[in-house]
Amino acid sequence: MIKRYSTPIADKTEITNSEISTFQKEFANEKGRLPWPVDGVVTEHFGTITHPLYGTKIPNLGIDIAAPSQTPVHAVSDGYVFAIQPLTGYGDLVFVNHGRYKTVYGNLSQVMVHKNMIINKGDVIGLSGDKNSAKGEVVFFMVRDGTKNVDPESWLGKK
**pTM for the full predicted model:** 0.88
pLDDT tens-digit map of 6-25 = 444 444 557 889 999 999 99
pLDDT tens-digit readout, 81-120:
999 999 888 888 999 999 999 999 999 999 999 999 999 9
Residue 89, helix vs strand vs coil:
coil
- Write the CATH number for 142: 2.70.70.10
Write the Ramachandran bin of 47: left for phi over 0, alpha for psi from -120 to 50, otherwise beta.
left
In-domain check, residue 1:
no
Do the domain assignments include residue 2?
A: no
Domain around 95? 9-152
Domain count, the chain: 1
74 neighbors 122 (Cβ within 8 angstroms):
yes
